[in-house]
């Protein structure tokens, strides 16, 4: 067993197992009691300009639940200047709802317009310096330390270093944290033919804020598509177990953006995640041993 890595003091403000808030879940979650998630996650862009009845309804959720946020359009690796007005709007949203945690994708999303996809940043030293400077600017504007997510990708144009080396370099030079997406590691490991456990070992695990886990689409044996539209497969659950063995019971978010099942089925999948997280917690506290 490899050494357990202790996350930094910047672990997320939430605990346990959460789920992404989608409008289809607002009804079931408004009535949830014993089966309520430990926390919820939203993309600020989808909620920050809402007013009226829906805005008041959302405010009721942030008063009841702990929240984290995961942005969609920061464009941290893009060619355009950082949109300072957008970042200030996010800060107002976070402050209004008392949300401490903000994360984004280590990717770019725009080029004279929004591309509506997470485009891979070239794994180069020049890109490391460029992205790290932009992250520092965003952190200053937000007055918050942010986390960046390792993204799924299907090509690595102009790579001069490995994906893991690139992630580590950006996080260290920007002095920010990592939102570790376990499903993305597995998807990339199939598409790029590498060992997902070895990849996780190469990451700056002491910077992990919290985890994402999700399902994906199997196109064929050598191609997986990150969709957040299916159940978590056994291989991703196994990799999640390995991640807990390295990190302990860090907070974990189940992502489901499409083909959202009825709440009892989604809650059952959350329970499967929580059982693994709780087992890691028990092991950490010496209450559970492994053979």
pLDDT value for 157: 77
What does the pLDDT read at residue 291? 43
For residue 252, the model assigns a pLDDT of 98
Is the separation of the CB atoms in 128 and 121 below 8 Å? Answer: no
Name which of 167, 237, 177 is nearest 210 in CA terms. 177
Distance separating alpha carbons of residues 242 and 211, to the nearest angstrom: 13
Burial (CB count within 10 angstroms: exposed 0-12, middle 13-18, buried 19+), residue 237: middle
| Sequence-distant (≥ 6) Cβ neighbours of residue 63 within 8 angstroms | none
Instruction: Give the per-residue pLDDT at 221.
Output: 82
d(CA 285, CA 248): 10
The C-alpha atoms of residue 111 and residue 128 are separated, in whole angstroms, by 19
Token pair recorded at residue 242: 């390995």
Domain 17-284 annotated CATH 3.20.20.150: yes
At 11 the pLDDT is: 84
pLDDT values of the chain reduced to their tens digit, one per residue, 291 residues: 577 886 666 789 999 999 999 999 999 999 899 999 999 999 999 999 999 999 999 999 999 999 999 999 899 999 999 999 999 999 999 999 999 999 999 998 866 555 456 778 999 999 999 999 999 999 999 999 999 999 998 877 778 999 999 999 999 999 999 999 999 999 999 999 999 999 999 999 999 999 999 999 888 888 788 888 899 999 999 999 999 999 999 999 999 998 999 999 999 999 999 999 999 999 888 865 554
The b/e string for 154-179 (b: 16+ C-beta within 10 A; e otherwise) is eebeeeebebbebbbbbbeebebbbb
DSSP string, 45-60: GGTTT--HHHHHHHHH
Predicted TM-score (pTM) of this structure: 0.93
């Amino acid at each position: 067993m490899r050494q357990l890595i202790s996350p930094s003091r910047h672990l997320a403000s939430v605990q346990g197992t959460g789920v992404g808030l989608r409008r289809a879940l607002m009804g079931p979650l408004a009535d949830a009691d014993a089966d309520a998630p430990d926390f919820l996650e939203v993309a600020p862009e989808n909620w920050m300009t809402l007013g009226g009845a829906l805005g008041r309804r959302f405010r009721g959720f942030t008063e009841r639940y702990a929240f984290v946020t995961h942005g969609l359009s920061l464009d941290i690796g893009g060619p355009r200047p950082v949109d300072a007005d957008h970042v200030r709007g996010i800060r107002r949203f976070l402050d209004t709802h008392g949300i401490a945690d903000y994360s984004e994708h280590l990717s770019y999303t725009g080029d004279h317009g929004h591309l509506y996809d997470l485009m891979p940043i070239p794994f180069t030293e020049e890109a490391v310096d460029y992205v790290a400077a932009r992250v520092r600017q965003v952190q200053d504007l937000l007055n918050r330390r942010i986390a960046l997510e390792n993204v799924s990708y299907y090509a690595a144009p102009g790579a001069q270093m490995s994906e893991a080396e690139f992630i580590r370099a950006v996080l260290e030079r920007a002095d920010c944290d990592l939102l570790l997406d376990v499903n993305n590691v597995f998807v990339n490991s199939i598409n790029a033919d590498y060992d997902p456990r070895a990849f996780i070992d190469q990451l700056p695990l002491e910077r992990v804020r919290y985890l994402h886990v999700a399902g994906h689409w199997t196109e064929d044996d050598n191609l997986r598509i990150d969709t957040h539209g299916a159940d978590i497969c056994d291989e991703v659950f196994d990799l999640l177990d390995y991640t807990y063995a390295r990190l302990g019971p860090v907070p974990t978010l189940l992502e489901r953006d499409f083909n959202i099942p009825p709440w009892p089925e989604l809650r059952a999948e959350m329970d499967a995640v929580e059982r693994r997280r709780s087992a890691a917690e028990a092991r950490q506290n010496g209450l559970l041993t492994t053979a």
